[in-house]
Structure 1
Amino acid sequence: MAKRKVAYLMVQQILRIIFLILISNLGAMAMDPLNLPHCLGPCSTVENCFHDCVAQGFPKGGTCIGITLAQMDCCCKWS
């Protein structure tokens, strides 16, 4: 029981750190309108995020980003 609680707390801490890193990076990107990501929609509806972004003119492709697996979006990379 104690091991389960410690593991749960560790997972929460790791998720908080990831969330803070994402927020700090998105905050820096939001200052420059050229760096706003172009998102194609939920990753569950996009067959291949990387190749779909390349096909739409984003040579660096794309990746699925989001806080939870259920809410991830396919966003293309500008640079």
Structure 2
Amino acid sequence: MAKRKVAYLMVQQILRIICLILISNLRAMAVNSLHIPHCLGPCSTIKNCFHDCVAQGFPKGGTCVGITLAHMDCCRKWS
């Protein structure tokens, strides 16, 4: 009986730790969402996304990002 209570308490502690980690990550994501990447436009209209971003003054270049292939935007790289 005592082993079950200890196991139950350990599971509760682990779940609390996981919740705290998730909450702290959500705060970090909310802060990062304020930094919207600079995008040059749709990748379908830009010949070379990487070199165009370098030419715009972003030394790390750019890449095409988006949810679907039809809606990809050329945005600068952050890292």
Q: Scaled by the length of structure 1, what TM-score is found?
A: 0.57
Contact 1:35 1:78 in 2 (8 A): no
SS in 1 for 2:45: coil
Q: 1:51 to 1:71 in 2, by over 3 A?
A: same
Q: What residue ranges of structure 2 are gaps of 5+ in the alignment?
A: 1-24
Q: 1:33 to 1:69 in 2, by over 3 A?
A: closer
Report how far residue 33 of structure 1 moved: 7.0
Runs (4 or more) in structure 1 with deviation over 4 Å come to none
Distance (Å, rounded) in 1 between the aligned partners of 2:78 and 2:67: 21
Contact 1:51 1:61 in 2 (8 A): yes
Amino acid at match of 2:57: G
In the other structure, the counterpart of 1:46 is 46
Distance (Å, rounded) in 2 between the aligned partners of 1:34 and 1:57: 21
Q: Deviations over 1:5-60 (max 9, x none)?
A: xxxxxxxxxxxxxxxxxxx9xx82x6247742000000000110000000000000
Distance (Å, rounded) in 2 between the aligned partners of 1:70 and 1:37: 19
Q: What residue ranges of structure 1 are gaps of 5+ in the alignment?
A: 1-23
State the structure with more CA Rg.
2
RMSD over equivalenced CA pairs, Å = 2.5
In the other structure, the counterpart of 1:60 is 60
Q: Scaled by the length of structure 2, what TM-score is found?
A: 0.57
Amino acid at match of 1:66: G
